[in-house]
Homo-oligomer: A and B are copies of this chain.
């Protein structure tokens, strides 16, 4: 049960502050409820009126014939608290506060909102608002329009949750003449109590909603939001326009992850990871929703284009690849069947260009043939205003039964005036969403296919979510930096491979380490007091004899004595020297909004010049980590480049997965870099060469 269940499905409502006054909220609200023929009981409450628009008005709550399911408060702000108290005492648990004059006005409004929240808690209320546009539910058994929008919503199966009330009005207005219908609208206003997450919970249980659209300006409770979106997108598409792409610039930060993690990149990664399809523009949001609401999902990426004009067919084909789809290659029988009746000038391949002479019969035959092709998952049906003998209306009428018996996705593009000849009512009856341009229709089809894969991922990932436990915190060293020894131990406990190493103050021990390893080693400082560990004189490479190790030890010791604070003894890190190979950088930081962020990318220029990095939130499954690496622009490097060996992407993904659990379980880690992580061709695994962490 969502906390919005009663508010969105009320059998009876009390309207506190219903009014007769022209232009008042109280009157506009009541009129909106009446205009959509609400199926429940309305109890307007106003001590000064006996009826409004022929509806009986009650002086107070006590005079009602029954306890209403839900109450809406439309009073001036100074009366709201008193009214909420009365509702609470009367045991009414579900309340919408439309009234403004709370947190959003600052000053005493903030105090007023706090009191309202306290009252809600005291009486165990579900409180929507204050300062909101209300809600609607167009399901026929409620038909409840609890907004004061001048435009009525057309009933349908798309829910719209908006952080901007005004935008909801715009959306209803702009869709008044499209074929998009709405199921649920929720304006969460100041979100004093009920949040977007509660609205999403409701949509999970609302069978009348087939598609969820969101307008987001911020993501306030990301953990809950992520969880509910994963559940929701496993059963129905969740589309979002997220505003605020050009946020106030990057915050200065000491690590790669910090510097590269701009808020919009993080929001993008967050939405993606939780199954939300981020859409660029409002228009595309609703264009996509229409198709998802009306048509079945494509079973694969194969698109057939059927047209009576070459140009739009070519434009559609061009758009197909960009949309992540492909032009289906027809079966031989399809081509033969098309050739058997199309004129010689027509093209029987894909796109099928039936030329301008195609009439309703030509279209119907072609569609029947193409829809039966095994390689076709979806058909783009393009109709340019036919010059003779037919109309879009006649064409769609003729192919009714072909469309009805096909289980495949069909997206029509009508390049003609949308007048009576266009047959829009028949398209609607057949649940075919109509577009005007081939490019936007293909984009929508691409989104549908994208969602079909998201749906599978979300169903699958529900079983694969990594489990996170709490772990003993590692202590901070000097300047908040973790000690090298602690970090290597930490890696070990998460089974993350590192180069063989020793941390020691003892030259004999280090030469012994080199001798035993029988390999070149690297010697450097392990003092966390030193930030730039690769500075002149602090890092020595290619040490392969005892003498070389001792000389390097002496030199580094000398430098350290000058650089270390008084009383701090030099400490050394000796490591086996790795052969060069593809280098990854993995980073982590705690984002104040989203929590633990993991970043991955190839080191050097790829990060520093090209900023080619991908973000995700911890914890990550191995599969999620692999999908993350799949997004790198420079991933051709995994296949080997200029003599470097090919590397096992999955091995890197495993390390990212383990690192993400480490980060999630160690809340004391503010920032951490594994930099670099080198592919060891001998060991066939990804090996950490250097690392650092800031403990907070």
Residues of A at the B interface (CB closer than 8 Å) are 23, 104-105, 148, 150-151, 162-164, 166-167, 169-170, 173-174, 176-177, 215, 217, 241, 243-246, 280-283, 308-312, 314-315, 317-322, 344-345, 356, 384-385, 387-389, 415-417, 436-440, 604-605, 608-610, 633-634, 636-637, 641-642
Asked if B315 contacts A241 (CB within 8 A), the reply is yes
CA distance A163 to B310 in the complex (A): 10
Asked if B437 contacts A282 (CB within 8 A), the reply is yes
Q: Which of B23, B311, B608, B609 contacts A215 (CB 8 A)?
A: B311
Task: Name the B residues within 8 Å of A309 (CB-CB).
Answer: 164, 166-167, 169-170
Task: Name the B residues within 8 Å of A344 (CB-CB).
Answer: 105
Asked if A417 contacts B311 (CB within 8 A), the reply is no
CA distance A415 to B244 in the complex (A): 20
Q: How far is the CB of A442 from chain B (nearest CB, A)?
A: 10
Q: Which of B163, B173, B604 contacts A385 (CB 8 A)?
A: B173
Task: Name the B residues within 8 Å of A241 (CB-CB).
Answer: 315
Task: Name the B residues within 8 Å of A244 (CB-CB).
Answer: 314, 318
Closest to A355 in B: B166
Asked if B610 contacts A634 (CB within 8 A), the reply is yes
Asked if B633 contacts A217 (CB within 8 A), the reply is no
Closest to A388 in B: B23
Asked if A641 contacts B608 (CB within 8 A), the reply is yes
Task: Name the B residues within 8 Å of A310 (CB-CB).
Answer: 164, 166
Asked if A283 contacts B439 (CB within 8 A), the reply is yes
Task: Name the B residues within 8 Å of A281 (CB-CB).
Answer: 315, 319, 437, 439-440
Asked if B170 contacts A385 (CB within 8 A), the reply is yes
Task: Name the B residues within 8 Å of A436 (CB-CB).
Answer: 174, 283
Task: Name the B residues within 8 Å of A320 (CB-CB).
Answer: 246
Task: Name the B residues within 8 Å of A608 (CB-CB).
Answer: 641-642
CA distance A436 to B171 in the complex (A): 10
CA distance A356 to B344 in the complex (A): 60
6 A–B pairs (Cβ distance < 8 Å), ordered by A: A164-B311, A177-B417, A243-B314, A282-B437, A608-B642, A609-B636
Task: Name the B residues within 8 Å of A162 (CB-CB).
Answer: 311
Closest to A177 in B: B417
Task: Name the B residues within 8 Å of A609 (CB-CB).
Answer: 634, 636-637, 641
**Copies of this protein, total:** 2
Task: Name the B residues within 8 Å of A385 (CB-CB).
Answer: 150-151, 169-170, 173
Asked if B642 contacts A280 (CB within 8 A), the reply is no
Q: Which of B104, B245, B605, B610 contacts A318 (CB 8 A)?
A: B245
Q: How far is the CB of A644 from chain B (nearest CB, A)?
A: 10
Q: How far is the CB of A247 from chain B (nearest CB, A)?
A: 9
Q: How far is the CB of A61 from chain B (nearest CB, A)?
A: 29
CA distance A314 to B439 in the complex (A): 26
Closest to A242 in B: B318
Task: Name the B residues within 8 Å of A315 (CB-CB).
Answer: 241, 243, 281-282
| Contacts beyond the supplied A150-B385, A281-B439: 7 A-B pairs with Cβ under 8 Å | A151-B385, A164-B311, A167-B312, A170-B415, A217-B314, A243-B318, A282-B315
Closest to A246 in B: B321
CA distance A637 to B605 in the complex (A): 9
Task: Name the B residues within 8 Å of A637 (CB-CB).
Answer: 605, 609
Closest to A443 in B: B281
Closest to A314 in B: B243
Asked if B384 contacts A167 (CB within 8 A), the reply is yes
Q: How far is the CB of A447 from chain B (nearest CB, A)?
A: 15
Closest to A247 in B: B318
Asked if A415 contacts B174 (CB within 8 A), the reply is yes
Closest to A241 in B: B315
CA distance A281 to B148 in the complex (A): 37
Asked if B246 contacts A163 (CB within 8 A), the reply is no
Q: How far is the CB of A471 from chain B (nearest CB, A)?
A: 36
Asked if B318 contacts A417 (CB within 8 A), the reply is no
Q: Which of B169, B311, B319 contacts A163 (CB 8 A)?
A: B311
Asked if B311 contacts A217 (CB within 8 A), the reply is yes
**Residue of A176, A610, A637 ringed by the most chain B CB atoms within 10 A:** A610
Asked if B311 contacts A605 (CB within 8 A), the reply is no
4 tightest Cβ-Cβ pairs between the two chains A and B: A164-B311, A166-B309, A170-B415, A167-B311
Task: Name the B residues within 8 Å of A415 (CB-CB).
Answer: 170, 173-174
Q: How far is the CB of A7 from chain B (nearest CB, A)?
A: 22
Q: Which of B176, B177, B417 contacts A173 (CB 8 A)?
A: B417
Q: Which of B319, B416, B641 contacts A170 (CB 8 A)?
A: B416
CA distance A604 to B609 in the complex (A): 14
CA distance A46 to B162 in the complex (A): 66
Task: Name the B residues within 8 Å of A440 (CB-CB).
Answer: 281, 283
Asked if B246 contacts A384 (CB within 8 A), the reply is no
Q: How far is the CB of A343 from chain B (nearest CB, A)?
A: 11
Closest to A611 in B: B636
Task: Name the B residues within 8 Å of A167 (CB-CB).
Answer: 309, 311-312, 384
Closest to A435 in B: B283
Q: How far is the CB of A314 from chain B (nearest CB, A)?
A: 4
Q: How far is the CB of A604 from chain B (nearest CB, A)?
A: 7
CA distance A385 to B637 in the complex (A): 52
Task: Name the B residues within 8 Å of A311 (CB-CB).
Answer: 162-164, 166-167, 170, 215, 217, 243
Task: Name the B residues within 8 Å of A105 (CB-CB).
Answer: 344-345
Q: How far is the CB of A250 from chain B (nearest CB, A)?
A: 14
Q: Which of B166, B282, B437, B633 contacts A308 (CB 8 A)?
A: B166
Given contacts A283-B436, A417-B151, contact A169 B641 (CB under 8 A): no
Asked if B356 contacts A166 (CB within 8 A), the reply is yes
